[in-house]
Amino acid sequence: MDGLFTRHRQLVDAALAAQATRGFWAPFSEIPSGKIYGETAKDDGLAAFEALRGKAFVLSGHPETGRVGREVSPFGPALGIDYPVASVEMLVAAAKAAAPDWTALTPSQRTGLCVEMVVRLNRLSFTMAHAVTHTTGQAFAMAFQAGGPHAQDRALEAIVTAYADMARTPDRAIWNKPQGKAEPIVLEKHWRIIPRGIGLVIGCQTFPTWNSYPGLFASLVTGNPVIVKPHPSAILPLALTVSLMRDVLAEFGLPRDIVLLAADQSGQEITQDLVRHPDMAIIDYTGSNVFGSWVKAHAPQAQIYTEEAGVNTMTLAATDDFAGMCANIAFSLSLYSGQMCTAPQTLFIPVDGIDTDQGHKSFDEVCQALATAIDDLLSDPARAAGVCGAIANPATLERLQLLRERWLGEGGRVVRDTAQLATGGRTATPLLLAANAESTTLYQDECFGPIAFLVAVRDADAGIARAAQLARQKGAITAALYDLDEVRIGRAIEAFGLAGVNLSINLTGNIFVNQSAAFSDYHVTGANPAGNASLTDTAFVANRYRVAMWRRPTAV
């Protein structure tokens, strides 16, 4: 087993070096190309996915008392796959039975095994892309990237962060304390990593792998068995993950039940029972603030790491590339139909408009230009489908219509209406709503999905102040600013920094506020209500284990 760590040592070292400098580094290629993944990879992935459909998903040796699974692709068909289901007590018992063999390994051994799992997940990227597409509604290219290599990047990042932190404590030391003219006191001391207990990872529907892998691998590499609880509508990506991980464990003579799947389905959810179980020592949760608050209130026994939601803002103050700005924002709003935790939602625009390279643009002109930029982006049906994907959850569309009505009822107006794509599936293009900041407060709450509020404010400073205040109060994962006034930019940097939100300034071209790159961007700061943890800092890993020592006198 030590051979695995040796085999992956270079990758681990490179990852740590990248993390320290935080420049661009991507160990797993995001390009779904046969040249990189093998000429038959694309076809093989599709075939593998098709072979899974309409069948019982096999998890060798997994606890099982029945079967669940009603996943339906946002693009249409039911997947027809069912998964083993077991009671919470059975899952906990299985995890506890498997734990000692995992705890007994050294941090290096566990690191080697976890990296091996990630490397093998990389080879599964095409299959995973189809699984992610047909559970989340992401278009294929995005599903490949976010569900595959980008999620694998985040997994590796969590593994090496935990490895480096564990490695700060040596295995042993000689403690030699001088005693003046008398013989010194000499002790040998030995330290070991003590895992906390069982880790529980609660996945979300929209990014089942990307958001789950960090907690999953951070808990695992620090010695804890992990129970993976997928969203009932996006089980397959995590079932594939768990299956692969269990196979790796078995291949190296370890109990498969070190990683378990807690599948359920709507109406028979088991998440609350899992969260409240006294043996659940670590919980990683991605999802709504409402359920996040419930988890935090009902699991006093557990270390809890959350990514919840917030109100991501953009403040438009000025630009020297009006077309580039509008195109960039249009893409940010349209990508995966706004179903990203990093997608902008509330755009503050000075009521008197903004200065641009195309002259002064009034508030209405800016609104119209954004609408037109979205129309342009989505004018080609194939490209529109590739950008927007489909809507993961039907409730998103209902909420959108409800909010549209309320917005109009409060005197706001529609700048651009949402529409279905021509390519089929459950789709929706961005809905743009405009109003004055004082006329409604609806823009101050999160509304998940393809919607953006264009809010007229007194001036750019007022927009920055409102945006930072919203981040503090409601949480925010991203903020964006378009501005040319360096002094005001400085004020914005200060305001958003203290509000604990990562700020992107003047993005144009092929880089978007939605994007968060492993090994460089920390995802979520943990400093506002959008989440209490950050991917991946030391705080995310350091409390998943403790250290115990024994010492005794030894000869010098």
Where along the sequence are the contacts to a second copy (CB under 8 A)?
Answer: 19-24, 103, 165, 168-170, 173-179, 185, 187, 189-192, 194, 196, 296, 300, 493, 496-498, 500-511, 517, 520-522, 525-527, 534, 537-539, 542-543, 546-553
Residue 411 C-beta: closest distance to a second copy, Å: 35
Tokens of 321: 């590339």
Beta carbon of residue 301, minimum distance to a second copy (angstroms, whole number): 11
* C-beta closer to a second copy: residue 327 or 507: 507
Question: Which CB atom, from 7 or from 22, has the smaller least distance to a second copy?
Answer: 22
- The DSSP letter of residue 138 is -
What are the structure tokens assigned to 29, written together? 């290629």
Return the residue matching tokens 């705080």: 539
Among all chains, which residue has been given the structure tokens 């091996």?
116
CB atoms within 10 A of CB 361: 21
Number of CB atoms found within 10 A of residue 171's CB: 12
Tokens describing residue 425? 């599936």
Of 10 and 552, which CB lies nearer to a second copy in the complex structure? 552
For residue 273 the two structure tokens come to 């029972």
28: alpha, beta or left? (left if phi > 0; alpha if psi -120 to 50): beta
CB of 112 to a second copy, least distance (A): 22
Name which of 21 and 372 has its Cβ closer to a second copy: 21
Nearer to a second copy, 208 or 214 (CB): 214
Residue 346 Cβ vs a second copy, minimum distance, rounded to whole Å: 19
- DSSP of 287-353, one letter per residue? S-HHHHHHHHHH-TTSEEEEE-----EEEE-B-S-HHHHHHHHHHHHHGGGG-STT---EEEEETT-
Measured between alpha carbons, how far is 349 from 455 in angstroms, rounded to an integer? 6
C-alpha closest to that of 249 among 260, 239, 238: 260
Residue 496 CA to chain centroid, in angstroms? 21
What does the alpha-carbon distance between residue 494 and residue 487 come to, in Å, rounded to a whole number? Answer: 11
Residue 117 CB, shortest distance to a second copy, in Å, is: 24
Nearer to a second copy (CB atom), residue 110 or residue 229? 110
- The CA radius of gyration of the chain, in Å to the nearest whole number, is 25
Shorter beta-carbon distance to a second copy: residue 51 or 498: 498
Output the DSSP codes for 183-241: EEEEEEEEEEEEE-SEEEEE--SSSTTTTTHHHHHHHHHTT--EEEE--TT--HHHHHH
Nearer to a second copy, 67 or 296 (CB): 296
Could you give the CA distance from residue 138 to residue 131 in angstroms, rounded to a whole number? 10
Nearer to a second copy, 171 or 398 (CB): 171
Nearest-approach distance from CB 191 to a second copy, in angstroms: 8
What SS3 state is found at 275? helix
The answer to whether 518 touches 210, Cβ cutoff 8 Å, is no
Closest to a second copy by CB, 303 vs 423, is 303
